[in-house]
Structures are given as structure tokens and as C-alpha cells.
Structure 1
Amino acid sequence: MLLAPHEWLVRKRDARVTTFDLGRIQNAIANAFRAELRLADGQPLDTDLMHEIAAVAQSVADDVGPLASQPNGVDVERIQDLVEMGLMSRGHYRVARTYIIYRAEHAKIRALRSDVPLADEANIPTTTVHVVLEDGSRVPFDQRRARKRLAEAARGLEDVVNVDELLEEVIRSVFDGISVDEIYRAQILASRSRIERDPAFDIVASRLTLNVIYREAFGETPDAKNLQRVHENQFEHYIIDGIRAGRLSNELRELNLTKLAAAMKPERDGQFRYLGVQAIYDRYLLHIDGRRIETPQYFWMRVAMGLALKEDAREERAIQFYEALSTFSFTSATPTLFNSGTPHPQLSSCYLSTVSDDLAHIFKAVSDNALLSKWAGGLGNDWTNVRATNSHIKGTNGRSQGVIPFLKVVNDAAVAVNQGGKRKGAVCSYLETWHLDIEEFLDLRKNTGDDRRRTHDMHTANWIPDLFLKRVKQNAEWTLFSPDEVSDLHDLFGRAFEERYEEYERMADAGDVQLFRRIPAADLWRKMLTRLFETGHPWITFKDPSNIRSPQDHAGVVHSSNLCTEILLNTSETETAVCNLGSVNLGNHIKDGKLDLEKLKTTVSTAVRMLDNVIDINYYPTPEARTSNLRHRPIGLGIMGFQDALHALGISYASEAAVAFADESMEAISYYALSASAQLAAERGQYPTYVGSKWDRGLLPIDTVDVLEQERRDPVLVDRNCSLDWQPVREAIARHGMRNSNVLAIAPTATISTIIGVTQSIEPEYKLLYVKSNLSGEFTQVNEVLVAELKRRGLWDAQMLEEIKYYDGSLQNIGRIPVDLRSRFLTSFEIDPKWLIECAARRQKWIDQGQSLNLYLAEPSGRKLHDMYLLAWSKGLKTTYYLRTLAATQVEKSTVDVNRFGIQPKWMKNRSASSDVEVRREGELTADTGPKQCLITDPTCEACQ
């Protein structure tokens, strides 16, 4: 006789007997469906699916009834067998497979936890899981040790982090013969996959990664109380091992290593977030045969030691530099981090060169590019000198093929010679707007057309004189020339350029210039914007403000910028300009709701000294680079974490308050940086070409805005007020001169900002939750400040995470988030680009070089592009960088029920990184075929590294 369902008996694995519960069957089946559909635990399922789950559960209950009515009941494993069969009988084969895998994993977990013998689990044969040690010996897997390691990593975070849940996921990854490294990796991945839930998991993943580093460097993983002792004891061994292996310079041995070891603060490793510590592990920490010999603090101290080698008080200076680096107050640029303290200290970031109209020099420039790229330098080449297509060649009495074929060679050389095996070689070629080959130059990055006249890997930029944009505004014509007939235009700027250019136009009309072509300036401008939108290139940069405001206008001409459009230095056939970069972490200098000027002064003064030291220590791959750098001694001090500073101040990027802070913070940095260079001049002497410079003439960057306006005969629409007393700086420069011809430049900082865990450079927040790709892999990023604010207001929960995911890291369509938060936490595509330009213009008045300024448009049009770039020009900006439009790659939605949140706003829909367009006369955009621009998270893009 069958019993009623509430009387059915079920035997558990530990021999306990309980009554049958149909709800548990339904839950198990629902979880199997969620797992197969990649939905989050507990996420609601639609009504039809719930009806199907109920039907499957009822079929299982029908089969269980006769068995459960027996005196001893039915075994739980038999019920699970019936669930598998029920799923398959109704055609849910993939869900059944997921359920089978789930059963097997949990059987293994119970076995490893010694809950029951593995042989009792679903007829899986008994297996002892062993771990293979480095010496090849095998020991049983000990889940207690794994749990202890996870518990240590979660110390202080227990209210958020469930250690047993992490352990269960690690155990799922364990197999017989697993190595210790693979266990560590499984622990890291278990934490990393949960970062989106809460930033606490980011800290756990970082701590676990640090354990891997310590184990490689020390051969053990010291606990917190012994970390300082082990660092001090092993430091000299690290230096000796590095020197023997050819990884470190012999000069480091000459320093007082005991004193330096005692100065290190290993507890500062706790500042790292996972992505940062993974980045330095993958790319920065020195290794021997794949084993890292550096810890993060050894890394910072190695860089500091390398930069102090020519100081009189080397240990004291090394400790001063270490303090700036290890506290995340200032970070040197990537080449300096790569190579400081090594046998080949190529520490400079950027090289700029001018190519002459001579075959031998053209190929010398290609060769120089290869040598400079080998040691991790980014390249900017000026190609305006090279004669245009069909121009006469006297030597052979033939016709030139123009500049384009040579650029193809440059492109292929950049690909062939990567940067020390650590990242791809990268070069940007510049051409002035009057060059007769300019239209072909605009097409270099297109995917259509003759591939022999395309450069798919090289960056390009327009070097635009003011006169061209004046002609665009006047709807006038523009004349294109070959540089061999108008050779002096290349070296002229401002009014002198305008007068000579107009003279050449008259000569062309008179028949005294053989090769020229006239086109409407507006048509060429439209084509520039079209190609920029289609391919991301050529970038828009401005020749005249770059030269008119240059401190070195007496010593040469700025013919181009660099790879990232922030460096503006003179170049010639005999001088390859070099710049040495580093960035202040602005977010680290906010205290009690305002800018900490005392701390900023200390950081900037130290940073300028570090950057100046680079010039004398640097390894120069070419004599032209050495000549230029020692003559002019330029440095480029920039900032990063601007958005972090705004978050700390509670300010939206799209606000007058942000513009005012951009002005205030850059003025302070400029003030302290110029003061520091003047003090270095007092200590070490002026740079050799100081006499005659703008510094020597009493002109600071703020003064040159008026000079630009006078030359332009057009208003430069930027506020010129000051908040500091600049008289002491002017007096110091008048008394001592300057140590450096150029001092300030804002670089992209993509990788160094990742290392220290802040937003890059002057960038707005890309998204509040997104997956970042770089050469180390893909990593979920979530805004910690936002999560903390949502927690404070009781709004951070699984539902909120799902909504932010669905809206691609944006808050604007999540109604339960208060308006004040939505207006404060805007993402890059939600900020009108005028705010980015306004902030940049306020900074530019204090900067003697430029800024890597990316511009964002959610719904571009020809009119918007035109207005945006003319605004940048009218505000006195010297350069712009990437134009960003929405990317096809959005936050992973596989765990989001897309039917729950309604329709996305139009601008947020998935779309290409840059729709291919033609710009019509009326300023509209139409689809076309062609390439896409670089994504903001492209791991192969120099700007993303």
C-alpha cells in the first residue's frame, strides 16, 4: 500500500531518515536550469519555465512514491538518479548534464572534506587526490591548509567574504596531481570572479596574488608579522642574484643595502588592488627563468635606487624616492619602471623625430625607430618634409611616389620590433594639413583600398595650422603644396606662416609653383572628421598653439607631438626630442575635503628631481636622442586619478566645480614644479639652451595665452585668473633660471594608474562596472566609491548589481538611485564633451606642453564633431587624442534577466566601437563600410597599456 507523500521516507547519506519534500526537488531542478542558463543564484525564472520545472518535479515524485513507501524509504542518491532521468525524459538534456556535473562536483567536495567515503558517492570510484610539490613528491590534498590561506586573505572582511564558499569553489577545481601553483591560481580565480559582488573580493584576490609573489621571491609565504624581517633578510640576496643573472646593475651593490632594506614598508603591499598587483606580476617584476625575484616593495626600491645612482647622498635620496613611489603619491612612467636599476636603463618614454626629404635619412629614421622602440620608447615622427606624389626628383629625373609608401615601411617596422618583448612597438606619424598627400594620409587606416597604401597598425595625426581652421570658418579655399617647393612652411608658425602661405598661393596663381591643388577647406575638414570617426585616425592636433606657447621657440620648431599627443618638443635632423615622464596621483592628495597643498608640494618637488635624474642616467639608443636630451633636459610631469579626486570631493565631472578644481589643482602642480626646476637649476645649473627661452624672457605658461591670442588675432576663450602668488616663482626663475626646458605634460597613464588603482590621467569614469582587458587578461572593475555610497544608503544588493550590469555600468536609468548620486556618478559617454574641454582648457594655461585628451560622444554627428573640435581649438588646446564612441563590447549580461528592466535608452544599445560614416554637408552621419577605431579597453592599444 502506497503512503501519502508527506509519509514518504528518504534516507540521507549519513543514515538519517527524513520525510520527502517536493519543494527541495523543485529547487534542485530550478538551480540546474539557472546554471545552464548562466543565471545568478536565486534569480527569478519566467512563469512558463517554472511550470515546466513543476512538471518535471511531479514526474520525479510519481516515480519516487512506490520506493519511498517501503519500510526503509528511498536513498537520496536514487532520488537524484530519478531527477536526471526526469529531465532527460522531457528533453532537457543539457540541463541534465549540468545536474550530473553538479552531483559529481559535490560528491568530490564531500569526499575531500571527509564527510563520507568517495566510493559511496554515486558509484564514483574511490580516489585519493594528491598535490604534486615542486620536487615531484606527492602529498594528499589538505583542505584545511587551503581554507587557512583563504581565511588569512579574508582577514577583516569576514562580514562580506564567506570563506567556506570560496573553499568550495577551490575544491571544485582540485584534481589528482594538481600543483601548488594551480591551487593558488584556483584560490585567486575564486575571489576574482566575485569582485563584482563587492570590492572586498578584490582585496582578497590581491592578497592571494601577493602570496604567489612572496613564494616565488622568498621560497616561502611569510605571515604578516614576519614580512618585514624576511624582506630585510632577503634584500641583499635579491640584489646579488639579480646582478649575477644580468638583470640588475652592478652599481646597486655599492649602496648601503642594510639601510635601504630597513626603510622598506612591506605592509604597503596592502594598498594594491588585484588588477594592479597582477599587472606588476605579469610585466614589471624582474624574473630569472620565469621566477619573480622581486616583491612589490623590492620593485619600488629598485626603481628608487636606480634613479638615485648619481646623487651625492644616494641612500637618502633613494629612500625619498621610494616614499613617493611606495605610497602611491607619484609613479614614474612604464619605461622607467621597466628599466631603472638594470644594466640598460632606458628610462625615457617618448621620442620625437623629423624626417628629412632624403632617401638616406628616411631609412635612417626607420632604423632609429627600431632602436628606440626596442627599449620601450613610444615614437612620434614628423613626415611633412617629404615631397609629395608626382614631385620631381632631380637625381633620377623621375617622379616621386610621395610619403605614403614610406609610412607603410614605418608601420611594418613598428610591428616587427616590439618594446623589449613586453608590449607592441608603437609609432604615430604626423603630417601638416597643406601637404599635397594629405588626403591619402587621411585614408591610411581604412580597410578598403590598396593594402600597400594602408597602415593598419601605425597611428596618424593631423598637424593643423590655425590658418586652415580660419579658412574652414570662412568657408574659403585651401591650397595643398609639395614641401620641396615650399620648404620654409614647415618651420613657420603663427603670423609668419600665414603671410608666407598666402604668398605661395599668389605664386601658384602666377605659375611660379608647379605642384599644387585647391580644395574647399570645409570639404577637407569634413573628410578629416569622417576618417577620425571611421577609423579613430588621424588625431586632431594644432601646430600654432604648440609653437607659439612653446618655451623653446628660440631654439627650434615643434614639428609634431608624440605617440600620445602630450609631448611638444623641438625636433630637427640632428636632434631627436626625448621626454621623461611621471605622474602625480591627484586622488592621493585630497585631505579633509580639499587639496592637500603641503603634501602636493613635497610630492611634486620629489618627482621633478626624479625626472631630472632620468636625463643623466638614461641609456640613449641614438646620438641624436642624447644630444637633444642633454641640451634641453625636458621632463613631463603629469597627473592621474583626476576622477578619483572628484569622487573624494563629492564633485561631478560635468560641473563648474570640476572645472574650478582642474584649474586649482593644475595651478598648484605647475607652481611647485616650476619652483622645483628653478631650485634644481640653483643646485645643478641651468639647462644649456636656457638663454633666450621664454623662461629667460620672463614668460611663464600662463603668460603665453595672451601671446597666442595676439598671434591668432582671434580670442582664446579661457579664464586666466590665478589663485596663488606667482611672484616668488618668477623671482626664483629670474635668479636661478630653469633646470628643464619643459616641465609639464599629461600622459595617458593607462598602466601605471592600473598599478596603483586609480582612474587614468584626466579621464572620466569609463563605466561604473565593466570588464577591462589588457595584456594580463580580463578583469571586472567596479567603482568602490559608488559601492560604499550605495551601502551607506542601504541600496547595495544583488538586485542593484543586476541593474547596473544591465545598464552597462550606468546609473542613469535606475530609478531607486537618488538623483544626486546619478548626477555625481556620470560615465564618460554621459558627460557632455564640453566639460572635458573646459577642464582641459583650464589645465592647459598652466602647462608648457600638452595633454592626452580623449573625447567621448555617445551619439555622434558631423555637426557635433565640428563644434567639439572647434571648441577645443578656440579654448587654446594644443592637441587632442582619441575620439571615443560606444563600443560593441558591453558588460556581460549572461547572468541578467533582460526582460526585467525594460528597454535600454537609445544611446546605450550595443553598437560598434565607431560606426563607419561619411559626413554630409548638413553635418549628418551615414553608414559606410570600413574599419573600426581602437576600443577603450583594447589590450593591444598603446593608450590602453
Structure 2
Amino acid sequence: MEVNRNRLAANIELTENAVAVLKKRYLKKNEKGEAIEEPIDMFLRVAGNIAEGEYRFKEGEEAKALYEESKERFLQIMLTRKFMPNSPTLMNAGRELQQLSACFVLPVEDSIDGIYDTLKHQAIIHKSGGGTGFGFSRLRPKNDIVQSTMGVSSGPVSFMAIYDASTDKIKQGGTRRGANMGILRVDHPDVEEFIECKRENDQINNFNISVAITDEFMEAVRTDRDFELKNPRDGEVIKTVRAKDLFRKIIEGAWLNGEPGVVFIDKINGDNPTPQFPIEATNPCSEAHLPSYDSCNLGSINLDKFYREETGDLDWDDLRETTHTAIRFLDNVIEQNNYPLPEIDKMSRGNRRIGLGVMGFADVLIKLGITYDSDQGLAFAERVMKFVDDEAWEESRNLAEERGVMPNFEGSRHEMRGDRVRNATVTTIAPTGTISMIAGCSGGIEPLFAVAFMRRQADMEMPDVNPEFVKIAKERGFYSEDLMKKVAEHGSVRDIEE
């Protein structure tokens, strides 16, 4: 066993940055904070733990055979860096915490008990390593009457500040500061205060914020009509504004510092695969739209690993096989997960939402000779993601046949279409901040903003140089460590005297 471990360890190709991040955040540590496992131990730990999900569906020798097969398949797609699960899975699988989900959405009820119950739940989730999204639209507006005390409400933004302060004090899973998403409907009377709450970048800095845009509002903008802001407590119209003026405030904030973003909440719910559970909010980066108490369990395929120089194309058969293995991996994550709250456990196992995305997109475009912002680039993006999405759904159907449809199948859009699937969703494009570093590829579907730059990640600053640039530099004889550091500081080779 030790010989096999050493052989596997010798074949792992990890960059210096990847090893540094793994030691900082992912590997097991002793009481002194020193890493007590190597990267190969982490991958073995994760593959073995997630493969144990097979025992929940089969028994005896059949279960054991499936476990061994899945463990090997899961291990290989990680060791070859073709696939990486989200950070909590790498950190926690096979360890005491065993909290494997990236993010959660929590409800915020219009009562002191509800607000502070959710604050407690936020703290529990951040402690376990997850991020949180909230819809604050149910809260009554500032200065609204509170019948129980005959006082007045302080409004959603004031409670967001409390949630933000709590986040400041708790690191996610003891490794990183928590992340939040705060969402308020565009028809809430406090929406203007919400839009401007991060204008000076001096408060609520542990939140991304987005305005939930309705179809009614966009129609009012299009026709230049007035728009009513209503008290969510009773529907009373508190204020009427010109829709275009309100929209301009949103745009100006987004231009100034990226806050607020927008989510088209009616469109989201129109496409919600489980309409029996309405969606009010998203996860912190907004790639996963979730009903209250649901979770996102994510992983990403490294497209760069499927490029074949001899054909000048992707190995589509390998991509198909990896997609099917990754979907099985993520469905097992649902089973193996130790959810931080019983409500989350019930909703997550009921909907079985998983999100398989891609990373290394910019890298593979470079190798294919395709410009990122070209029509050809868009066509390739559509082709590759349709392929992954189709194959992901095919595997979900296979799993439904093998393990049963998702428990919340009844009432879902899948039931309406007669499509027997295991998961409410199967694909999600995530940012892949640190897992793309581990995989040694460009992040998510983003372009390369520079061939080299100084990356601040995991409380560290490190030079990040595109491997294709390094390859060209070595081939043409101008590579040096000193040059790479200079390029990282400048972002390009332009104006560097060498």
C-alpha cells in the first residue's frame, strides 16, 4: 500500500503555488499548525470517503466492488487534475467535520426571533466552512411600526450590518473568512438605501449585494413609468419612484465599485426546477440560485487537460467519461455530507442539487488558437458546455435508474416533462478561485487578464505565471525566475528591459 502511495505521489504534477495553497488551507495539520499529510494523502482521503457513498445503495460484495471501482475513478480524475471538487470537499472529506458543501441559502423572517435564528445559523455554517446567501426582502422597511413594542423597525440594511459583523469574527471552517450574498427586491421601500450601502466601501464588506429585479420593474424602465415601492408586511405602497431613475442608481453603483449586482428574480423562478420551493436568494458569487435551506455542491472539469496536440481538438470521449464520473462523485457528496442544520439536510437530500462546471477555458482557447471574445470563441463555449450539460444529465438519468429519482421529484419541472433524473440541477459555472490553482489552470471561464500577475490567495501573495507563456519563454531562450517575477509585477513583458 505504501509503495502504491509513493508511486502515485511521484506522478502528481502540482505547481509551487498549488502546493503552497494546499499546505496553507487544505492539508491536515497538527496542534502546531504543521501539515501532517501530503497532497497525495488528501486525494486518497477524499476519493475513499466519497466512494463510501456507494455503500448507501448496495450491500455486500456488490457494494464493495462498486466502492473500489469508484474510489479508483474518483482518485484518477483528481490526480490527473481533470476534475476538482469544491474546497470544503477537499478540506473536510474523511475528517471529523465532514461538511462538504460550498454554499447555502438561509431565510430571513420578519421577526426578531427569525432574524437572530438565522444569524446563529449563519455562524454555524461559516464555522463549518460554507458561505451563505440571504434574501432580506421579507423584512419590514425602516421606521415601520413594530406592533409588539410600538417601536419602529431599523430596516434590512441595519440587520445586514449585524450579519456582516458576525462574519468578521468567524473564519469559514477555521481557514478563511466567511462570504455572504445579500439580496433585496427592487420593490422594497429601502431599496435605495440598499443600493448605496456599499458606496463608500466602509461597511458590509463581507457581503456581495444584488438587487432582485422583477419583470414589472424592467417594463416600467422600458416604458419610462413610475414604479411603486411596497411594504412587504402588508403590501402598502410606501413610495413611488421613476423606474429609470432607480435603475440609473443601480447602474452607477455597479460602475463605481461593482455593487450592487442584479438578479432577475422572476426569470430565475420561471426556470426554477423545483417550483414548489421558491427562490429568493443566491450563493455568495451568485452562480447557484437556491431556495431556503438548500446547498450547492460543486466541482469543475479542467478543460485544458482534454486538449490533444496531435488532433488540435479536445478528446471528447475522455471528456464524456470524466463528466459521468464527476456527476457520480457529486451525487455521492450529497450522501456523505454532514450538513450543518437539519433543515439543510432535508432540503439538500430532497433536491440533490449539484453543479459541475468548467475551468481552464482560457487555457484551452489559447491552445486551439481561438480568440476569447470572437464569434468562434462563443461557438466553442456553447459547444463544450452543451456537451458537458448533455452528458451530465445523461448520468443523472443513469443514477435515477440505479438509485431512484430525487425525493422532491414530485412537483418538479422534471416530473412535468417526464424526465426521471436524480438531481434538480447538474451544472454550474463557479469562479474556481483556489481549485483552479490546485489544478494549475485558468479560473472558471474567465479570460487571462495578464500573462503573469501577483496573486493574493489564502492570505498569501505569490507570482502566478501562465504555463503557456513559460513554455514559450523556455523554447525561445528568454526564461529566468527573475524575469517571471518582473512580468508578474507588470502583467506583461512590455517595457521590461531584458
| Same fold by TM-score greater than 0.5 | yes
2:470–2:479 CA contact under 8 A, matched in 1: no
Instruction: Choose between structure 1 and 2 for higher RCO, CA contacts under 8 A separated by at least 6 residues.
Output: 2
Q: Where in structure 1 are there 5+ consecutive unaligned residues? A: 1-230, 234-260, 487-512, 699-732, 815-892, 901-945
Quickly say closer, same or farther: Cα 1:648–1:457, change in 2 above 3 A. Answer: same
In structure 2, the partner of 1:837 is none
In structure 1, the partner of 2:403 is 684
Quickly say closer, same or farther: Cα 1:807–1:285, change in 2 above 3 A. Answer: closer
Quote the Cα distance in structure 2 between the aligned partners of 1:540 and 1:626: 29
In structure 2, the partner of 1:397 is 150
Q: 2:424 aligns with which of 719, 727, 741?
A: 741
In structure 2, the partner of 1:526 is 248
Matches within 5 A, 1:403-442: 403-442=156-195
Query: What is the CA-CA distance between 1:539 and the residue it aligns to?
Result: 1.7
Residues 1:485 and 2:217 are matched in the alignment: no
Residues 1:306 and 2:49 are matched in the alignment: yes
In structure 1, the partner of 2:119 is 366
Residues 1:344 and 2:87 are matched in the alignment: no
In structure 2, the partner of 1:543 is 265
1:365-422 CA-to-partner distances (Å, cap 9, x unmatched) read 1000000111110110111000111222222233322212211111111111211220
Quote the Cα distance in structure 2 between the aligned partners of 1:338 and 1:783: 26
In structure 1, the partner of 2:210 is 461
In structure 1, the partner of 2:274 is 552
Quote the Cα distance in structure 2 between the aligned partners of 1:264 and 1:315: 18
Residue type matched to 1:643 in 2? Answer: A
In structure 2, the partner of 1:254 is none
In structure 1, the partner of 2:14 is 272
2:454–2:488 CA contact under 8 A, matched in 1: no
TM-score by length of 2: 0.91
Residue 305 of structure 2 aligns to a residue whose secondary structure is helix
Quickly say closer, same or farther: Cα 1:343–1:791, change in 2 above 3 A. Answer: closer
1:832-871 CA-to-partner distances (Å, cap 9, x unmatched) read xxxxxxxxxxxxxxxxxxxxxxxxxxxxxxxxxxxxxxxx
In structure 1, the partner of 2:301 is 584
Q: 2:84 aligns with which of 328, 331, 336?
A: 331
Quickly say closer, same or farther: Cα 1:297–1:807, change in 2 above 3 A. Answer: closer
Query: What is the CA-CA distance between 1:467 and the residue it aligns to?
Result: 2.4
Quote the Cα distance in structure 2 between the aligned partners of 1:410 and 1:320: 41
In structure 1, the partner of 2:34 is 291
Quote the Cα distance in structure 1 between the aligned partners of 2:248 and 2:379: 33
Residues 1:517 and 2:236 are matched in the alignment: no
Residue 602 of structure 1 aligns to a residue whose secondary structure is helix
Quickly say closer, same or farther: Cα 1:382–1:322, change in 2 above 3 A. Answer: same
Quote the Cα distance in structure 2 between the aligned partners of 1:810 and 1:522: 41
2:157–2:193 CA contact under 8 A, matched in 1: yes
Residue type matched to 1:580 in 2? Answer: N
2:463–2:488 CA contact under 8 A, matched in 1: no
Q: 1:627 aligns with which of 346, 362, 370?
A: 346
Residue type matched to 1:565 in 2? Answer: S
Quote the Cα distance in structure 2 between the aligned partners of 1:613 and 1:667: 23
Residues 1:780 and 2:463 are matched in the alignment: yes
1:595–1:665 CA contact under 8 A, matched in 2: no
Quote the Cα distance in structure 2 between the aligned partners of 1:594 and 1:406: 52
1:324–1:603 CA contact under 8 A, matched in 2: yes
**What is the root-mean-square deviation in Å for CA atoms of aligned residues?**
2.4
Quote the Cα distance in structure 1 between the aligned partners of 2:257 and 2:362: 28
Residue 166 of structure 2 aligns to a residue whose secondary structure is helix
Residue 786 of structure 1 aligns to a residue whose secondary structure is helix
Quote the Cα distance in structure 2 between the aligned partners of 1:417 and 1:459: 17
Quote the Cα distance in structure 2 between the aligned partners of 1:425 and 1:685: 35
Residue type matched to 1:357 in 2? Answer: D
Q: Identity over aligned residues, as a percent?
A: 32
Quote the Cα distance in structure 1 between the aligned partners of 2:5 and 2:483: 44
Quickly say closer, same or farther: Cα 1:327–1:806, change in 2 above 3 A. Answer: closer
Quote the Cα distance in structure 2 between the aligned partners of 1:455 and 1:343: 32
Quote the Cα distance in structure 2 between the aligned partners of 1:765 and 1:349: 25
Residue type matched to 1:570 in 2? Answer: P
Query: What is the CA-CA distance between 1:755 and the residue it aligns to?
Result: 0.8
TM-score by length of 1: 0.49
1:418-458 CA-to-partner distances (Å, cap 9, x unmatched) read 1122000111111111100011111222338xx8xx42332
1:390–1:400 CA contact under 8 A, matched in 2: yes
2:350–2:406 CA contact under 8 A, matched in 1: yes
Matches within 5 A, 1:226-245: 232=2
Query: What is the CA-CA distance between 1:536 and the residue it aligns to?
Result: 2.6
1:240-279 CA-to-partner distances (Å, cap 9, x unmatched) read xxxxxxxxxxxxxxxxxxxxx569622222x111111111
Matches within 5 A, 1:663-812: 663-698=382-417, 734=419, 737-789=420-472, 794=476, 796=478, 805=487, 808-810=490-492
Quote the Cα distance in structure 1 between the aligned partners of 2:466 and 2:253: 34
1:569-597 CA-to-partner distances (Å, cap 9, x unmatched) read 222xxxx1111111111111222221222
Quickly say closer, same or farther: Cα 1:806–1:393, change in 2 above 3 A. Answer: closer
1:355–1:361 CA contact under 8 A, matched in 2: yes
1:334–1:349 CA contact under 8 A, matched in 2: yes
Quote the Cα distance in structure 1 between the aligned partners of 2:119 and 2:325: 36
Quote the Cα distance in structure 1 between the aligned partners of 2:158 and 2:43: 44
1:769–1:781 CA contact under 8 A, matched in 2: yes
> Which structure would you say has the larger Rg?
1
Residue type matched to 2:289 in 1? Answer: L
Residue type matched to 1:267 in 2? Answer: A
Residues 1:596 and 2:339 are matched in the alignment: no
Residue 663 of structure 1 aligns to a residue whose secondary structure is helix
Quote the Cα distance in structure 2 between the aligned partners of 1:802 and 1:565: 34
Quote the Cα distance in structure 2 between the aligned partners of 1:265 and 1:532: 47
In structure 2, the partner of 1:384 is 137
Q: Which has the higher strand share?
A: 2
Residue 414 of structure 2 aligns to a residue whose secondary structure is coil
Quote the Cα distance in structure 2 between the aligned partners of 1:807 and 1:689: 51
1:414–1:458 CA contact under 8 A, matched in 2: no
Quickly say closer, same or farther: Cα 1:358–1:411, change in 2 above 3 A. Answer: same
Quickly say closer, same or farther: Cα 1:557–1:803, change in 2 above 3 A. Answer: closer
Quote the Cα distance in structure 1 between the aligned partners of 2:340 and 2:208: 22
Matches within 5 A, 1:822-833: none
Residue type matched to 1:638 in 2? Answer: G
Residue 100 of structure 2 aligns to a residue whose secondary structure is coil
Residue type matched to 2:250 in 1? Answer: M
Query: What is the CA-CA distance between 1:310 and the residue it aligns to?
Result: 2.8
Quote the Cα distance in structure 2 between the aligned partners of 1:777 and 1:414: 21
Which stretch shifts more, 429-438 or 390-399? 390-399
Residue type matched to 1:655 in 2? Answer: S
2:212–2:265 CA contact under 8 A, matched in 1: yes
Residue type matched to 1:653 in 2? Answer: Y
Quote the Cα distance in structure 2 between the aligned partners of 1:694 and 1:753: 33
Residue type matched to 1:598 in 2? Answer: D
Residue type matched to 1:383 in 2? Answer: F
Query: What is the CA-CA distance between 1:695 and the residue it aligns to?
Result: 1.7
